[in-house]
Amino acid sequence: MQSFPEPARLLVDRMSAAAAADPARAVAFQGAPGANSHRAALEVMPDGLPLPCFSFEDALDAVKDGRAGQAIIPIENSQHGRVADIHFLLPESGLSIVGEHFLDIHHCLMARADAGAIVAAYSHPQALGQSRFYLRERGIVPMAYADTAGAAALVAESAEPGIAAIAPRIAAELYGLDLLAEDIEDAHDNTTRFVLLSKAPRDPATVTGAALTTFVFEVRNIPAALYKALGGFATNGVNMTKLESYQKGASFAATMFYADIVGAPGDPAVDRALDELAYFAKDLRILGSYPLERARG
């Protein structure tokens, strides 16, 4: 936690104390207070206790250690695709996905009241890239920082003139910064998908309405293995909304696949498709079945 700037550490200490007093209501997230993950936690659990963590691993460990009842983690962004390392971390965590949430991403330019003319802006590289037209038009130099809200905290504690941060609006409120401009992102449909994680999996039978099931698997090293493994979803009419590959280890011989399907175990069509997948694949692990928040297709 000591890697956060001082204004953020003060908030982290206060929020951590509140979460420690009632861990069942705590929702762990990665980033400084005021990050988009903080916003997502507040939207998903308005009565929860957001618990800031410095890394994704810290947020997952908070749930595993019982310091938080749930964690909310970004998994993909409409502009930049999947979030790095998440496909490795989720299966290894032993936690289950129990929900999803879509968050509209809006960037704001903020600075101290005495900043003067802005010549540089700090933020996460993705936020800087998503606001590059705005910055270029105004001759503002982008300066990379670990996360958006942390950049706001950095600007709040700095006496350097001419610097600003690009962060969510909530960060300006938390760190006492002036909002200089709102909605400066280049694409106004920028959206991040989050997943909610818990120690205990959700019983698919408790999901009302459409469900989504997430799983990972490794295909056997035989010709047409992937084609055969996925054939059961087509023949059983199960809609696969996501399929992404990633390498397991450094040998480049074992390819893992991450997939989302509409439906859940207990549905005969889904059960048949998963049985066929298990026959042609190995290391099949279901990460969770949960309510479908936004229709696919």
The pTM score is: 0.92
Question: Percent of the chain beyond pLDDT 70?
Answer: 97
Residue type, 179: L
pLDDT tens digit string along 131-174? Answer: 999 999 999 999 999 899 999 999 999 999 999 999 999 999 99
**pLDDT at position 83, please?**
80
**pLDDT at position 64, please?**
97
**pLDDT at position 283, please?**
87
Say if residues 246 and 258 touch (Cβ distance below 8 Å).
yes
Q: How many CB atoms lie within 10 A of CB 110?
A: 29
Write the CB contacts of 273 (distance below 8 Å, at least 6 apart in sequence): 232, 233, 235, 236, 238, 261
Q: What is the mean pLDDT of residues 282-293?
A: 94
Q: Give all strands of the β-sheet with 120-123 in edge-to-edge order.
A: 141-144, 120-123, 163-167, 108-111, 178-181
Catalytic residue ranges:
192, 194
Ordered by where they begin, the domains of the chain are 6-104+191-198 (3.40.190.10), 108-181 (3.40.190.10), 204-291 (3.30.70.260)
**pLDDT at position 212, please?**
97
Q: Distance between CA atoms of 20 and 7, rounded to whole angstroms? A: 20
**pLDDT at position 250, please?**
66
**pLDDT at position 297, please?**
67
At residue 253 the predicted structure's pLDDT band, cuts being 50, 70 and 90, is: low
Q: How many CB atoms lie within 10 A of CB 35?
A: 27
Among residues 66, 75, 55, 79, which one has the least CA distance to residue 20? 66
Write the CB contacts of 137 (distance below 8 Å, at least 6 apart in sequence): none
pLDDT tens digit string along 80-129? Answer: 888 867 778 888 899 999 999 999 999 999 999 999 999 999 999 999 99
User: Is a pLDDT exceeding 70 seen at residue 251?
Assistant: no
Among all chains, which residue has been given the structure tokens 């104390």? 17
Q: Count how many residues are written for the chain.
A: 297
User: Is a pLDDT exceeding 70 seen at residue 254?
Assistant: no
**pLDDT at position 252, please?**
67
DSSP string, the chain: -TTS-HHHHHHHHHHHHHHHH-GGGEEEEESSTTSHHHHHHHHH-TTSEEEEESSHHHHHHHHHTTS-SEEEEEEEETTTEEPTTHHHHHHHH--EEEEEEEEE---EEEE-TT--S--EEEE-HHHHHHTHHHHHHTTPEEEE-S-HHHHHHHHHH---TTEEEEE-HHHHHHHTPEEEES---S-TT-EEEEEEEESSPPPGGG--S-EEEEEEEEE-SSTTHHHHHHHHHHHTT--EEEEEEEE-SSSS--EEEEEEEES-TTSHHHHHHHHHHHHHEEEEEEEEEEE-SS---
User: Is a pLDDT exceeding 70 seen at residue 1?
Assistant: no
Mean pLDDT of the chain: 93
Query: How is residue 51 written in tokens?
Result: 């618990």
pLDDT tens digit string along 5-52? Answer: 999 999 999 999 999 999 999 999 999 999 999 999 999 999 999 999
